[in-house]
Amino acid sequence: MRRTMISIAMAVGFSGIALAEPAKVMVPAGAGGGYDTTTRLAMTMLDKSGQFKDGAVFTNKPGAGGTLGLGEFIRTSKGQDNALMGMGVILLGAVMATKGSPQITETTPVARLTFEYNGLAVPANSPIKTVKDLTEALKANPGAVAFGGGSAGGVDHIIAGMIAKSAGLPLQRLNYIAYGGGAEAVTQLAGGKVAVLVSGTSELKGLADAGRVRIIAVTSDKRLPGIDAPTLKEGGVDIALGNWRGIVGAPGMSATARKAWVERFAKATENVEWRAELDKSGLQSAYLGGDDFSAFIASENTRIRPILEELGVAK
């Protein structure tokens, strides 16, 4: 566990005048990862845009796909109006994959912040050059087409399952290898241990530009700037899915506090600097606040659960 603090503004006064209260922010993952960088950037933008100047105390608690951090957040922050947690689609899958896990529905959805679409990459010398080549290979010999990606139940695994399902493959026959880090996965792809790597486009683009891999498709609705690859939909696979991240509040957060946080993040994400920082990481700003975010989480749960059940991941 790691705790850090950013610029805490204190009210001016004598004894009896309370200090301004910083936000208590749970990051259910290790330092430096996607949840961590996105959540810290969002809180920094709140400060820079003047939406919340009282600072933030961060707690990093990795483990079990984020469910350990989720459990601690739910246990320790009930009814607190200044308690927030970073989360995303990967956590939804982890909750489904972890028996007895606390539920994201126990929290108070505040705002979706970012979106990153995935890409499908193959070795530069792979005979698989198109999405059609991939689906035909799956139909011919599914075991020979090993997918590599992140943790079981994560967005990479879900995408691989959706592609296999579109090819008419029973998902129990999907050959998916989960890796703990992108570097290991790329090494295995280059060495021929996996046929296709599913990962964020920001990670794959540099490898493709260097000629180490070839991106055969992206998982967005439309082609992405700077990446010379069609969408899965163009290849005949009707899938659009990506790795989104956002913020939820404590269980029992007051309606007044929720409204305030929703408005703060809405204004902070309109900041030019916010979009500039996201561009550096290959992320898209994807603000969705309040009840709209609640409805989005519900729809994502409905969409991914059947795939995870077929994959044998959901408990």
Beta bridge partners of 249: 84, 108
- Give the list of residues 6+ apart from residue 272 with CB closer than 8 angstroms, or none: none
% pLDDT > 70, the chain: 93
Q: Is the pLDDT of residue 13 over 90?
A: no
Tens of pLDDT along 135-163? 999 999 999 999 999 888 889 999 999 99
Report angle CA 2, 90, 57 to the nearest 5 degrees.
Answer: 25
Q: Which position has the token pair 């009282």? A: 54
Say if residues 86 and 38 touch (Cβ distance below 8 Å): yes
Say if residues 271 and 48 touch (Cβ distance below 8 Å): yes
Strands 108-123 and 196-200: antiparallel
Which CATH superfamily includes the segment(s) 2-115+243-310?
A: Bordetella uptake gene, domain 1 (3.40.190.150)
One-letter amino acid for residue 315 of the chain? K
Instruction: Indicate left, alpha or beta for 13 from its phi (over 0: left) and psi (-120 to 50: alpha).
Output: left
Q: What is the DSSP letter of 20?
A: P
Q: Where are the domains of the chain?
A: 2-115+243-310, 116-218
* Topology match between the domains 2-115+243-310 and 116-218: yes
In angstroms, the Cα distances linking 181 to 117, 186, 189, 237, 243 are 18, 9, 13, 27, 16
Tens of pLDDT along 224-252? 988 999 999 999 999 999 899 999 999 99
Say if residues 226 and 239 touch (Cβ distance below 8 Å): no
Beta bridge partners of 217: 120
For position 184, what pLDDT does the model report? 83
One-letter amino acid for residue 257 of the chain? A
Q: Is the pLDDT of residue 73 over 60?
A: yes
For position 43, what pLDDT does the model report? 97
- CB count, 10 Å around CB of 172? 10
pTM, entire model: 0.86
CA–CA distance, 163 with 185 (Å, rounded to integer): 19
Say if residues 19 and 11 touch (Cβ distance below 8 Å): yes
For position 286, what pLDDT does the model report? 95
Fold category of 116-218 in CATH: D-Maltodextrin-Binding Protein; domain 2 (3.40.190)
For position 306, what pLDDT does the model report? 93
Strand, coil or helix: 253: coil
Helices (H), the chain: 34-48, 67-76, 89-97, 131-140, 155-166, 182-190, 201-209, 255-268, 272-281, 290-310
One-letter amino acid for residue 73 of the chain? F
CA–CA distance, 18 with 11 (Å, rounded to integer): 7
